[in-house]
Amino acid sequence: MDDLLNEASFYGVGVLVDSLSGVELVLEPRAYRPRRHTAAAWRFIEELYQRVR
């Protein structure tokens, strides 16, 4: 588990663990800050929002 958390921390991704009480957030992901805005990124976010909503 320590290796997994170290690698996830290095790449800035979060880690969720399924437990008896539900899903627990073990490592919070780093905030995503795009360097520039593109049409492809905008479309991806719009499609993701529609699916999550």
Residue 32 phi, psi dihedral angles, 5° rounding? -90, 125
Q: What is the pLDDT of residue 25?
A: 93
Q: For the chain, how many structural domains are there in total? A: 1
Q: What is the pLDDT of residue 33?
A: 83
- Specify if 8 maps to a domain: yes
Q: What is the pLDDT of residue 52?
A: 87
- Specify if 46 maps to a domain: no
- The 8-class DSSP code of residue 29 comes to P
- Specify if 1 maps to a domain: yes
The parent domain of residue 21 ranges over 1-30
Q: What is the mean pLDDT of the chain?
A: 91
Q: Which residue's structure tokens are 């499609």?
A: 47
- Specify if 39 maps to a domain: no
Positions in the chain short of pLDDT 50: none
- Specify if 50 maps to a domain: no
Query: How far apart, in whole angstroms, are the C-alpha atoms of residue 25 and residue 14?
Result: 8
- Specify if 2 maps to a domain: yes
Q: What is the pLDDT of residue 2?
A: 85
- Specify if 38 maps to a domain: no
pTM for this prediction? 0.54
Q: What is the pLDDT of residue 39?
A: 94
Q: Are strands 15-19 and 22-27 parallel, antiparallel or unpaired?
A: antiparallel
